[in-house]
Amino acid sequence: MTSLGINDHLSFMMQNREGKTAWDSSACLYVPPAGSSVLPTRARCLAIKALLELCNLPYQCKELANAEFMSHSGQIPVLVEGKTTSCGFDEIVAHFHFHELLPSSDLPAPAKLDIKAFSALVHGKLFAAEVFSAWCVPGNAKVSCCTYGNSLPFPLNFVLTWRKKKRAQDLCIAVFSSCRPEQVYGDAAEVCRTLSLRLGSAEFYGDVRPTELDALVCSHLQCILDMDESLPDRTLVDCVKKHGNLVEYCARMAQRCLIAQGQDNGSTAQHESHS
């Protein structure tokens, strides 16, 4: 089984494009158990499941407590397809690109640049805001620590949870410079406003059909909307709900990508292609 970083993936693709093989129907997506996944993790895993559904590709989905530690980069989910292991959204999208399976593969260059720009916006400020909400807000962080450590044995449930929280804090400081809630949520609100303006009255971000950007955006927004109502801080939910077109968009994509609102249906044992 080959384990490649994102730069290695790109080199691998350029060298082996003529020898690429068909999609392996026994492809397997490894994700953490639903009961131990917090907001940022759920969103990233759901984005790949949505992309697999959009591309109509068969795959199995397996929940493993050590899924995060299977990843060579620490990024999840982990996709094993054929002899290649890809970790995290960007690396998996690069793998799809090699197979020429991306919904955007036949779009003009300006449209592809648009997808990259808005994907970077979601990966950057919105994801970091999710991390902040889950790990840096005291009340929410207490819930996240319990959730994350739920599937880990003692004493790893304490050690790894502390490490996860520390890394989350470091990420937020790197992105926002200061972890003041007004700054973080202000940036998140601006991202939602930008996404709302870009979507407008269109059905999808891909205009004619959903693309990998739709899989990414709808998954993050849907996971925010599905935040536990018992959490003390649900400011991110309000950021999304201020824009009616984003809420309606999530409902459309839920049906299109077979993502059930209020739950992540990707935890089923196996997904077959839909014809």
CATH architecture for residues 109-267: Up-down Bundle (1.20)
CATH 3.40.30.10 residue spans of the chain: 2-104
The CATH architecture annotation of domain 2-104 reads 3-Layer(aba) Sandwich (3.40)
- Which residues in the chain are classed under CATH 1.20.1050.10? 109-267
Tokens of 87: 């970790």
| Contacts with 133 (C-beta within 8 Å, 6 or more apart), sequence order | 39, 140, 184, 227, 233, 235, 236
pLDDT tens track, the chain, 275 positions: 444 444 444 444 434 444 567 899 999 999 999 888 899 999 999 999 999 999 999 999 999 988 988 998 889 999 999 999 999 999 999 999 888 899 998 889 999 999 999 999 999 999 999 999 999 999 999 999 999 998 888 998 999 999 999 999 999 999 987 789 999 999 999 999 999 999 999 999 987 789 999 999 999 999 999 998 889 999 999 999 999 999 999 999 988 775 544 444 443 444 443 33
